Amino acid sequence: MCFNGSVSLIRKLLPPRAGEPCLLVLGLDNAGKSSLTGSLADKLGDGNVTASMEVTEVRLKIKSTKLQMFDLNGRLKNRQLWANYYKNVRGLIFVIDSKDAARLSEARCVLCDVLLDERLRNVPLLIVANKQDALGAMSSRLMVDLMGLSRLEGREWIILECSVTTGSGIQGIIGWISKNIRK
């Protein structure tokens, strides 16, 4: 009997555990979510990683605080699973590929849709303008303009530039996480 398949199916639909701060990493496919998650796991992880095609869970420790981080796959067919993880969320990290201007409006629509969910109403948002090392990458300022982000109201939000490939901007992301899990 093959038991593993069923266990992982149940596991990936489980919501975050209550009591421990939880961070979600969302964004379109190819934005760099798993790359960012891997980099954070290298720096802050306790070595526990649970991965499937749809979700990767890493457990991080910042000073004495433990937290769970869920990196959810961004392919269209998998986005319907995201809402299973909206409970007990302390921070939302939305990753965007800064060199992919053609998909910026799709990223905007997906982000707006996520932010409409009641369970995420007051959750602080970090938008990561990733792939800043790439030729033609848009600046975060341009992305704020093109996505109309200045109209985003009712929650704390920030956009930070980053390149997971070179490591630039990662410390700023860690700073944002530290600040928001302490709340």
Shortest Å, Cβ 26 to Mg ion: 11
Near ligand GTP by CB under 6 A: residue from 89, 163, 173, 176: 163
Site for ligand GTP contains 39 (CB under 6 A): no
Site for ligand GTP contains 91 (CB under 6 A): no
- The Cα 91–Cα 173 span in angstroms is 12
Site for ligand GTP contains 134 (CB under 6 A): yes
Site for ligand GTP contains 140 (CB under 6 A): no
- Which one-letter amino acid corresponds to residue 153? E
Question: Which residue lies nearer to ligand GTP by CB, 79 or 156?
Answer: 79
Candidates 111-119, 145-153, 158-166, 171-179: pick the segment binding ligand GTP (CB under 6 A).
158-166
Number of residues that bind ligand GTP (CB under 6 A): 19
Angstrom distances, CA of residue 113 to CA of 26, 109, 120, 156: 12, 6, 11, 17
Candidates 58-66, 86-94, 128-136, 144-152: pick the segment binding ligand GTP (CB under 6 A).
128-136
Site for ligand GTP contains 73 (CB under 6 A): yes
Q: In whole angstroms, what separates CA 51 from the centre of its chain?
A: 15
Handedness of CA 58, 121, 79, 94 (dihedral sign): negative
User: Is 58:73 a contact under the CB 8 Å cutoff?
Assistant: no
User: Is 158:128 a contact under the CB 8 Å cutoff?
Assistant: no
Candidates 68-76, 81-89, 117-125, 145-153: pick the segment binding ligand GTP (CB under 6 A).
68-76
Residue ranges in 53-103 assigned as alpha helix (H): none
Please choose, from the candidates 119, 117, 108, the residue with its C-alpha nearest in 3D space to the C-alpha of residue 152: 108
Q: Write out the two tokens for 141.
A: 């300022």
Strand ranges in 27-156 using DSSP code E only, listed in sequence order: 45-51, 55-62, 65-72, 89-97, 125-130
Site for ligand GTP contains 155 (CB under 6 A): no
Site for ligand GTP contains 164 (CB under 6 A): yes
Binding-site positions read 27-34, 52, 74, 130-133
Applying CB under 6 A, which residues contact ligand GTP? 27, 29-35, 73-75, 95, 130-131, 133-134, 163-165
